Structures are given as C-alpha cells and as structure tokens.
Amino acid sequence: MVKKQFMPKWFYQLASPKWCYQISGTLLPYFLITALVLLTAGLVWGFAFAPQDYQQGNSFRIIYIHVPSAILAQSIYLTMAIAGGIGIIWKMKVADMVAYACAPIGASMAFIALLTGAIWGKPTWGSWWVWDARLTSMLILLFLYFGVMALYSAMEKPETAARSVAILALVGLVNIPIIKYSVDWWNTLHQPATFTLTEKPAMPVEMWLPLLVMVIGFYCFFASALMLRLRNEILNREKRAGWVKQLVSGQ
C-alpha cells in the first residue's frame, strides 16, 4: 500500500531533527541580521523622527515597543498551540521542541507588553495599572504562559510533558477568544468611561510606518530567538544521536 502524503515534502523533512538543525542554521543569520536592521531602523525612526502625538506628546512613542510585543505575545501562543497540535497529530519530535521553545519567548513578550503598557499608562491615564480590557486579557495570557511553563517544569519526561502541554495549549487556544470577549464585555459593563482615551484619529503614515517596521522586526527577532532555542533543544534531546556526537566532537 502506498502511504498517502497529505502534506508537502518539506513538512515531513521538518520531522527530522538533523535536517531541521541544518536548515535553521542556514536561515538563522538572515533572520538575525534582518531583525537587527529592522529593529534599529524602527527604533531610531520611531523615537527620533516620527511626529509627536497631538495629545500625548512624546509619551506615545512607547507604542513602538508596546504594540509589537503585544502582537507577538498573541501570535506566539498561536504558534505554540499549532506546533503542539502538530506534535500530537504527527508525533513529531521537532514540533514538540518548537512548542517548548515558544513558551518562554511568548511569556517575555507578554511581560514586555504589560510593562510598557504600565509605563505608558502612567502619563496617559494617571495610574500604573488600569483594569482595562486589553491589559486584563494580556495579563490572563501571561497567566496562561505561566501555566504552560509550570506544567513543563513539573514533568520529567520530555515526551509526556510535550503532549500534556500541547493539550493545555490547545484548550487555551479555544479559550482565548472567549476570555477576550468576556473581558471586553466585563469592562464595558463595570467601567463605562473611567478614562476617556478619545477615539484615536487614524494614524498618519509617518507614525504607522515605523510601527510596521518594528512589528516585522519583532517577528524576525522571534524567529531567530525561536531557532536559537530550538537548535539548543535539538542538541540537548538528541545528544545520543550519532550526528550530534560527531558535531560536538568535531568542533
């Protein structure tokens, strides 16, 4: 019987830790350089050249860190859950490792988003923390990351840990929209207009272009951080494999 292949060939190649190690080694420098260039350019552009906000003055510039990290925190959770799902369905070791590598990066992104949100909140809303719907759902996302990381560290065998975490991540993925909408609803009910961050005018091009650069830069940074952690994890888990021994002793 011919085995049916539902996915393109590269997908199956990804299952090989060795191939994955090599391809990520080739791709890594490109992503790293792109990330560095985009982040530097975006930061300089956003902090020094983008025009001031007519209401918030210079304090709005933290948006160039806040928004990308918030976007990343969410997409990393998605990546983690999808990688976990692939790990469950196709029993792919590399997908498990990707999910494992995602969690701390995502947690730090969520933390950065909360921290910059707090710093931004002080001049804008007059307090470090506001039970705003977005802040609250980001906080809950951070809790979800902590749960995933705690479950990882509680389990000894990496294979079972990976499958448990994948289930948890998928359950969390179903829950994220529910949490998001319930928090939105809760907030509009309980605090109709504590702070009136009036409807922002659509950002002018000079403002959102550096933001776009920063977002792409953050994605590239995430990709490079993920690959670095992944390569580390592959070497760690495959240390009994011949090619790893060869690689380590060869250097």
Question: Which residues of the chain form contacts with another protein (CB under 8 A)?
Answer: 88, 140, 143-144, 146-147, 150-151, 154-155, 157, 160, 163-164, 167-168, 170-172, 174-175, 178-179, 182-183, 185-186, 189
Neighbours of 70 (CB within 10 A): 22
Nearer to another protein, 28 or 149 (CB): 149
* Dihedral (CA of 126, 132, 134, 140) sign: positive
- Cβ of residue 172: shortest distance to another protein, in angstroms? 7
**Nearest C-alpha neighbor of 172 from the set 69, 103, 97:** 103
Angle at the Cα of 35 (from 31 to 38), degrees rounded to 5? 135
Nearer to another protein, 179 or 209 (CB): 179
Q: Where do we find the tokens 């959770």? A: 77
- Cβ of residue 185: shortest distance to another protein, in angstroms? 7
- Cβ of residue 195: shortest distance to another protein, in angstroms? 20
- Cβ of residue 182: shortest distance to another protein, in angstroms? 4
- Cβ of residue 70: shortest distance to another protein, in angstroms? 17
Nearer to another protein, 190 or 245 (CB): 190
- Cβ of residue 82: shortest distance to another protein, in angstroms? 16
- Cβ of residue 168: shortest distance to another protein, in angstroms? 6
3-class secondary-structure state, position 53: strand
Nearer to another protein, 16 or 182 (CB): 182
3-class secondary-structure state, position 2: coil
Tally helices (H) and strands (E) across the chain. 8, 0
Nearer to another protein, 18 or 163 (CB): 163
> For helices 133-154 and 63-90, what crossing angle results, to 10°?
40
3-class secondary-structure state, position 6: coil
Nearer to another protein, 36 or 179 (CB): 179
How far the first Cα of the chain sits from its last, in Å, is 44
CB burial of residue 183 (10 Å; 0-12, 13-18, 19+): buried
Query: What is the helix (H) or strand (E) element at residue 131, kind and residue range?
Result: none
Nearer to another protein, 18 or 134 (CB): 134
